[in-house]
Structure 1
Amino acid sequence: MTLGQRLLAEFVGTALLLATVVGSGIMGVNLSDGSDGLALLANAAATAGMLYVLIVVFGPVSGAHFNPAVTLAMLFRGALHKRDAAAYIAVQIVAAVAGVLLAHAMFDLPLWQPGSHVRSGMPQWLSEGVATFGLLSTILIGARHRPAALPALVASYIFAAYWFTASTSFANPAVTLARSLTQSFAGIRPEDVAGFVLAQLAGMIAALWFAALLRTSNADEAGPSQDPKRSNADTP
């Protein structure tokens, strides 16, 4: 695939992901008469379902990153050139904002509305670190051992992480930035974005270390008749 084709896939996939995150939150609140629990269930289910579809459809084209943390992880692992990684991240950010605006337009809401949902403090930052660590670990280790199951693994993880993290698992710097532009259920205050992003990057680094540690351990345990590089090769 050309870089242009990959970037187009990243743009459409990221925009649809954000439209789903924000739109399902709006719909969940509308249909549940303001119940946060039901809105969160709708938000988690819609996001997980859309992620599965997007990864299956766009994975063969761009790798289905839709997330600067994933792109940076691929860059650090040598699976992506610096120029391509920079282009991926720029497109992801622009597409994420476009997805939020699209959701607002579909629900006849003001397009620009700075977020007002307070998401700050150590529990929130810890949650984002854990959420991102789990997501990147699922991707890095799952791609090595269960590549065919990766769409279901990622979707299942995100569905669970919506519920077991205090932050509802943003786990994505582009998503975090874009969600600072909505006052809907999915929103976050602009001043809280930096703390989330730093926690997400810390989680990504921890996941890279963890995946590398497991890979080294697997290589050390390979028998004399095995080729460790071959048996532990990452999928493209």
Structure 2
Amino acid sequence: MRPLSHRLTAEYLGSLLLAALVIGSGIAAQRLSPGDVGLQLLENAAATAVGLYALILVFGPVSGAHFNPVVSIVDSAFGGLTWRDTAAYTAAQVLGCVSGAVLANTMFDSAPISISTTDRATLPHGLSEVVATVGLLLVIFSLVRTGRANIAPAAVGAYIGAAYFFTSSTSFANPAITVGRMFSDTFAGIAPTSVPAYLLAQLLAAALAVPLLRLLYPTPTTETVHEALDTEGQPR
């Protein structure tokens, strides 16, 4: 496993680029397809899916490419990270996503920080976040625990792209990106008042995913995200 400083740098940069990708493609979609929300969502989802695939390939060999506190929490539950490292990962992920929001706003000549006014806190949205986050964790850790981590980048990108459409919340599925998206009053934003409900749903999903994974994959081929990569960063 790489030194913690290297891993935190990867988590910060990956989270920054993920937030810039999600928010920036949302801003571009709004401007390219004004008045057509369905097309805007399609453009946002497609960019996020393929961009996430690339980011996991880049940063996976260094840190496991979590970019997401619930992924780090579940990895710790399976022994892949210490809880102290998970706390450090979470800080890097949140800071990265906030930085990415500022970067996206600035790249599109908007105010660097604009607090979102998009209210998303409804019961269907909360349920959607539980479903989206459980699904994401099942995709990641089912592959890791059965020795198929080499296809995780494609699988995660495909799942998130699909979940933009099959969930009413458009699948944030990530506490760090949820916080980051508060700082952009654009297509991908979320009002601060809606954030606590999303965070609660995502953490509940992590609590549900761990026993499900233990039930479905009780004898893992590979225990952790990090063990799925050799020292040269190539999937086994």
TM-score for the superposition, normalised by structure 1: 0.92
Structure with the bigger RCO (C-alpha within 8 Å, sep 6+) is: 2
- Given that 1:142 and 1:153 are in contact with CA atoms closer than 8 Å, whether structure 2 keeps it comes out as no
Q: Which amino acid aligns with 1:233?
A: T
Aligned match of 1:42: 43
163-172 vs 36-45, greater mean Cα deviation: 36-45
* Aligned equivalents of 2:108, 2:217: Cα separation in 1: 46
- Moved beyond 2 Å, runs of 4+: 232-235
Aligned match of 2:222: 233
* Alignment equivalent of 1:210, drawn from 212, 216, 223: 212
Provide the aligned C-alpha RMSD in A: 1.1
C-alpha deviation, 1:187, in angstroms: 0.6
C-alpha deviation, 1:34, in angstroms: 2.9
Q: Which amino acid aligns with 1:11?
A: Y
SS at match of 1:109: coil
- Given that 1:29 and 1:38 are in contact with CA atoms closer than 8 Å, whether structure 2 keeps it comes out as no
- Given that 2:140 and 2:156 are in contact with CA atoms closer than 8 Å, whether structure 1 keeps it comes out as yes
Aligned match of 2:137: 136
Task: From the CA coordinates, give the structure whose radius of gyration is larger.
Answer: 1
Aligned match of 2:109: 108
Point out where structure 1 has 5 or more consecutive residues left out of the alignment: 220-228
Q: Which amino acid aligns with 1:60?
A: P
10-19 vs 74-83, greater mean Cα deviation: 74-83
- Given that 2:163 and 2:171 are in contact with CA atoms closer than 8 Å, whether structure 1 keeps it comes out as yes
Aligned match of 2:180: 178
Q: Does 1:88 align with 2:77?
A: no
Q: Which amino acid aligns with 2:26?
A: G
Q: Which amino acid aligns with 2:168?
A: A
Q: Which amino acid aligns with 2:199?
A: V
SS at match of 2:183: coil
Q: What is the correspondence of 1:1-236 to structure 2 with a 5 Å cutoff? A: 1-145=2-146, 146-216=148-218, 219=219, 232-234=221-223, 236=227
Q: Which amino acid aligns with 1:55?
A: I
- Given that 1:119 and 1:192 are in contact with CA atoms closer than 8 Å, whether structure 2 keeps it comes out as yes
Q: Which amino acid aligns with 2:167?
A: T
* Aligned equivalents of 2:121, 2:8: Cα separation in 1: 32
* Aligned equivalents of 1:60, 1:79: Cα separation in 2: 14
SS at match of 2:34: coil
* Aligned equivalents of 2:26, 2:195: Cα separation in 1: 19
C-alpha deviation, 1:180, in angstroms: 1.1
- Given that 1:128 and 1:196 are in contact with CA atoms closer than 8 Å, whether structure 2 keeps it comes out as yes
Aligned match of 1:224: none
C-alpha deviation, 1:208, in angstroms: 1.1
Percent identity (aligned): 48
